[in-house]
Amino acid sequence: MTTQDLTLMSALLQKMDWSENRQKILSQNIANADTPGYRAQDIEPLDFKALLSGSASKLSLAAAGSGIETTNPMHISGSGATPASAGGDGTAQRHPYEVSPAGNAVILEEQLVKMNANYSDHSFASNLYIRNMSMLKAALKSS
């Protein structure tokens, strides 16, 4: 059994790969900020629910949410209704409000905010991966 067989470790590796690919695209957007006719690009958000449902884990997502009572339908539930799915998560590329006379629609401030969020997500995933690896190593040493 390798660490790739563990659902959490596999998900963290995929999240880090996704973050690296997004970083490349965001940096291309910034590099082309003065290119005539260039439109900012982004990649589809990583869907953890689909990632976990396709795993070999015996824990189902529906069972994880069962038995939880909510007072508001916007709270966590096993049905998949989330505030992000109800009102949008804000990650979709908006229609640019600034377009240069040359037709360029890259908003540098927006791209920098996205890069910062991407950096935070990647740092969180890599730190979580490192902590889980050290936990597994400690468990192996004690047995």
Residue 60 lies in a domain: no
Residue 105 lies in a domain: yes
Q: Is the pTM of this model over 0.85?
A: no
Task: Please give the mean pLDDT across all residues of the chain.
Answer: 77
Q: Which residues contact 142 (CB under 8 A, 6 or more apart)?
A: none
**Displacement of CA 110 from its chain's centroid (Å):** 17
Query: What is d(CA 14, CA 137) in angstroms, rounded to the nearest whole number?
Result: 21
Residue 47 lies in a domain: no
Residue 112 lies in a domain: yes
Helix ranges (DSSP H) in 32-68: 48-53, 61-65
Number of domains in the chain: 1
Helix ranges (DSSP H) in 37-90: 48-53, 61-65, 83-87
Give 51-106 pLDDT, tens digit per residue. 767 655 444 444 444 455 567 777 665 554 444 444 444 444 556 566 777 778 88
Query: What is d(CA 68, CA 85) in angstroms, rounded to the nearest whole number?
Result: 19
Residue 51 lies in a domain: no
The better pLDDT of the pair 119, 70 is held by 119
What torsion, rounded to 10 degrees, do the Cα atoms 34, 36, 37, 40 define?
Answer: -10
